[in-house]
Amino acid sequence: MASLSIDAPGAAIRRDERGLHVALPAGIALDEPVTIDLDLDDPHLDTRVFVTAGAGARGAIVERLHGGAAGRDVALTVSVELGANADVSYTALERTAAGARVDAQRTSTAGTGARMLWNVALLGGAASTAGIVSTLAAPGSSTEISGLFFPIARDVVQLTTEARHDVPHTTSQTVVRSIAGGHGRGRYYGNIRIAAHAHGSDASLRDDTLLIGKHAKIDAIPALEIAANDVKAFHGATVGAIDDEHIFYLMSRGIEREAAEKLIALGFFEPALARFPGEALRDELRALLEEKLAGARR
């Protein structure tokens, strides 16, 4: 069973046979996030989470997924529904044990003028599959999707994102950064889908990958499905290694090679990391990324 931390009053929480429900009433503005703690070692783990935000509601949800030392396989689903002009961010921080196998699928539907922010950090165990589908279902709605992952050793990570423009005059931005080290394997599938009648849509997707070591591998597949005229859509992807010229420049300033590589690698994540809410959370993620980087060198 998930444990919950709600520092701001007003969010309604209940459990039933379907799963865990978090409701943000219309017009509410939460000063602190609702934190959902999901422990894979809990035999009563909530594997279905439902979030609803009423018209004009504003708030943040932080999901922490951890545990799994016993090698448990878990399938998790999260559904978020936004009313008109709601503004919600949902952050998923996955830090599972090496034996865990997780398949987490997260979806959202945004109403008129609503704004949905997705942030996902996959920093966990041996096998992780994560999907985000953010549907813009009414005019004026928008979404931002930010993701980062860092497979090391023999970890295998797969992230899939899709921004779905189902109606005219909607906006999406997707930014993903990933590094693989050791024998780590990763895959990223990113899609922008613009329906036939969704004229005036504006969408972008950017994915960048850095490989540390000759055995690491990440496949990146960005895609566009555009069935409408009068739209703006862009996608781009890069895959590369740490630039020797950058290393040389930092070493010429008195920085040792290992420290120089660390600065470059951690700085590489910043365009995605900067989109995560709150400096405390961003600092936590930087510390976790530093741990992963140290593990990639072993």
Assigned domain for 176 exists: yes
Assigned domain for 161 exists: yes
- Give the per-residue pLDDT at 7: 45
Tokens coding 166: 């189902």
DSSP states along 179-234? EEETT-EEEEEEEEEE-TT-TT-EEEEEEEEEEESTT-EEEEEEEEEE--SS-EEE
Q: How far, in Å, CA of 205 to CA of 198, rounded?
A: 18
Amino acid at 168: P
pTM: 0.91
Number of domains the chain is built from: 1
Assigned domain for 236 exists: yes
Q: How far, in Å, CA of 268 to CA of 262, rounded?
A: 10
Assigned domain for 281 exists: no
Assigned domain for 262 exists: no
Assigned domain for 130 exists: yes
Q: What is the pLDDT tens value at each position of the chain, 298 positions in all?
A: 555 554 446 778 888 888 999 999 999 999 889 999 998 888 888 899 999 999 999 999 999 999 887 777 889 999 999 999 999 999 999 998 888 889 999 999 999 999 999 999 999 877 899 999 999 999 999 999 999 999 887 788 999 999 999 999 999 999 999 988 888 899 999 999 999 999 999 999 999 998 887 888 999 998 989 988 888 888 888 877 766 666 655 567 766 766 667 777 788 899 999 999 989 999 999 998 888 887 666 5
Q: What is the DSSP letter of 98?
A: T
Q: In this structure, are residues 140 and 112 in contact, taking their beta carbons and an 8 Å threshold? A: yes
Assigned domain for 120 exists: yes
Assigned domain for 47 exists: yes
Q: How far, in Å, CA of 45 to CA of 145, rounded?
A: 26
- Give the per-residue pLDDT at 124: 81
- Give the per-residue pLDDT at 244: 63
Domain that holds residue 51: 3-240
Residue positions counted in the chain: 298
Angle between the N-to-C axes of helices 257-268 and 279-297, in degrees from 0 to 180, rounded to the nearest 10 = 130
Residue 270 sits at φ, ψ, to 5 deg, of -60, -40
